[in-house]
Structure 1
């Protein structure tokens, strides 16, 4: 009989024979064990009875269970610490996290799924996109390449205009997966002084109620400066005109307004800052003579002309910052093309992601309005 096959009671009986005066050699011969085994038993269990040996075995097993539990808890803590680098709100993120944990800590899939609460069937499932996702992604990338400063909401609106039946969430998911763009930092806003001409106190109520205009500066490739006079209808957000020239003064302001008044009619108010071209007496007298009113903002408060300033920011960000103009004529042609695109194609967030003046109504709207 092998030494490992002896029960606790048999070991206690053999050791008790030695206490009764029997020699070690005789005990080992009768039990069929070596003297080394006998001395190991005596060293480990000497002086113990059967009940004491059973209690020792029970304590040893309990100690092993406790050690295993502590080891399991430590490993679970390591898994959670490895996964705590981001929120696991979706099965896809949990799937990626479990793969990383298994690679880093060399744990089983069962263990990682149990700790991170991911069903193993979900972990093993390979996501299959919709059949049209490849074509949708290709169209998204093409629109993003064409309109590099648009966010996913405007891209989604353009996709819907092109015939795709997609919502913003699906476009956002593909947008984030492809890493197309990081949103711009929100600029700080100053406190409104609420002048009489402010866009807060004088709000547009209908088309041709309030127009606003402002200058934007840029340069051609040879370093020479040119200016643009941007005029918009604040209610419809339509860009009515952009005059481009090396120099623009109060006379040019009157010329552009004259053409617009003949084509579109006369607005109730014209909002602007206090630039010399706008506060010139000739401009004020002419506007008053045709039956419109001026609405000047507080000096040094461009946010009070918020509609036009917002348009100027889009004009810079989406067009001027991405173009090189080799001549003034080229700038005039390209800027006019962008103005038409802005009015008829570009989705505007304030209009429910619709363009300010779609092509279907442009022709109907090109008529003077009598006041």
Structure 2
């Protein structure tokens, strides 16, 4: 004869009234079953607190180009259900998109390899990389790569608004690109996402940049960075 725990585990999708009726038919006290059901709803699930990365620079304002580059990941999938992971990075001052990695998975080593290429392409690293506390970002591999080369500024766990520029970029990428396409292959996703990021740099005009494109703004920007106390790389 099924007991309360078995009934709750197997039939947790049932409406409480139907659950009590079924429990009664099994010879159990329906009121006790309902009490256990309500208690189960109130049980708080423990989620381990995210480990926070150790920043080498404080939260600073991107007052010039190549001061703060912000990174983040997004996920999508091909029509066969296989995952796609997308790495993006922007210059917070110019809003330029600087990085495009589209793979099934992205390791910390792959990320640092691509960062190395990006630094070379853009004439060196920025002052600071801003990112959340994702496993790739707080990894020993990335920490070693950045040491004596570029500062790291981790946002507090659970505060995506502290990385607002890349969040805004990712929201636009989601709405205007990812949600409008059904990827038949990883290659298709790579090509279309790369085209979107190129369009963002050279054709998308930003009101915050005086209605210039990021590339146009970067070409004429003359702002200079003011050093910030507490940044080990500054």
- TM-score range for the pair, normalised by the shorter chain length: 0.5 to 0.7
Conserved in 2, the CA contact under 8 Å of 1:344 and 1:359?
no
Q: Which runs of 5 or more structure 2 residues have no equivalent in the other structure?
A: 1-53, 221-233
Deviations 1:136-185 (A, max 9, x none): xxxxxxxxxxxxxxxxxxxxxxxxxxxxxxxxxxxxxxxxxxxxxxxxxx
Deviations 1:241-277 (A, max 9, x none): 1110000010111011100111111110000000010
Give the secondary-structure state (helix, strand or coil) at the position aligned to 2:137: helix
Note if 1:246 corresponds to 2:104: yes
Conserved in 1, the CA contact under 8 Å of 2:95 and 2:214?
yes
Deviations 1:295-351 (A, max 9, x none): 000001111111111111111011111111110001101111111101000111211
Give the secondary-structure state (helix, strand or coil) at the position aligned to 2:73: strand
Q: Who is 1:328 aligned against?
A: 186
Q: Who is 1:287 aligned against?
A: 146
Q: 1:236 aligns with which of 72, 94, 103?
A: 94
* TM-score of the superposed pair, with normalisation by structure 1: 0.42
Which runs of structure 2 are paired with 1:258-297 in the superposition (5 Å)? 258-264=116-122, 265-289=124-148, 291-297=149-155
Conserved in 2, the CA contact under 8 Å of 1:269 and 1:295?
yes
* TM-score of the superposed pair, with normalisation by structure 2: 0.66
Q: Who is 2:207 aligned against?
A: 349
Alpha-carbon distance in structure 2 between the residues aligned to 1:359 and 1:244: 27
Structure with the bigger RCO (C-alpha within 8 Å, sep 6+) is: 2
Conserved in 2, the CA contact under 8 Å of 1:204 and 1:235?
yes
Alpha-carbon distance in structure 1 between the residues aligned to 2:129 and 2:150: 7
Q: Which has the larger radius of gyration?
A: 1
Alpha-carbon distance in structure 2 between the residues aligned to 1:201 and 1:297: 8
Q: Which runs of 5 or more structure 1 residues have no equivalent in the other structure?
A: 1-195, 363-370
Conserved in 2, the CA contact under 8 Å of 1:345 and 1:358?
no
**Which stretch of the first structure deviates more once superposed, 344-353 or 329-338?**
344-353
Give the secondary-structure state (helix, strand or coil) at the position aligned to 1:276: coil
Q: Who is 1:69 aligned against?
A: none
Conserved in 1, the CA contact under 8 Å of 2:65 and 2:93?
yes
Q: CA deviation at 1:201?
A: 4.4
Alpha-carbon distance in structure 1 between the residues aligned to 2:164 and 2:182: 27
Which structure: greater helix fraction?
A: 1
Note if 1:337 corresponds to 2:195: yes
Q: CA RMSD in A?
A: 2.2
Which structure: greater strand fraction?
A: 2
